[in-house]
Structure 1
């Protein structure tokens, strides 16, 4: 089993919580060929992804990074 841990630290607890909630539904529905555990603690989001196939693991990580990037951009636009 291949695994990867992604640890993201945000500027504030509010930003981390908004982004966590923004991607949570995608997180729940994306686990077809991989499994992931996502948790939040203060201003840190931790995501552990596991998959049998390395290409599936890579695709899962890219998906999380894309979802987080979009959520973070929208958060910053709304804060302006």
Structure 2
């Protein structure tokens, strides 16, 4: 059996407001430039209250690691937003 050579995933996360989505985007965007791995490429964008995370990876373990990281950062950012309310 041949291993996958390229894998990708796209997540859309809906927030209560456009402002919240923008705050989370601003919080996690620096992680793209500081990525420790050159095996993944990530794009983040906001469209109104929807945050889209697009990840392309060379292999499935890299994709899984990137997904876990970005989702943890989104959850953490959302928890901080909730504390500030």
TM-score normalised to structure 2 length? 0.87
Deviation at 1:57, TM superposition (A): 0.2
User: C-alpha deviations, 1:13-67, integer Å up to 9, x for none?
Assistant: 1110111101111122125220011111110011110111100000000000000
Gaps of 5+ in 1: none
Q: 2:81, 2:33 → 1: CA distance? A: 21
Unaligned runs of 5+ in 2: 1-5
Runs (4+) off by over 3 Å: none
Paired with 2:32 and 2:83, the residues of 1 have a C-alpha distance of 23
Q: Distance in 1 between matches of 2:41 and 2:60?
A: 13
RMSD (Å) for aligned C-alpha atoms: 1.0
How many residues were matched structurally? 79
Alignment of 1:16-55 (within 5 A): 16-30=21-35, 32-55=38-61
The corresponding residue for 1:9 is 14
Q: Which has the higher helix share?
A: 1
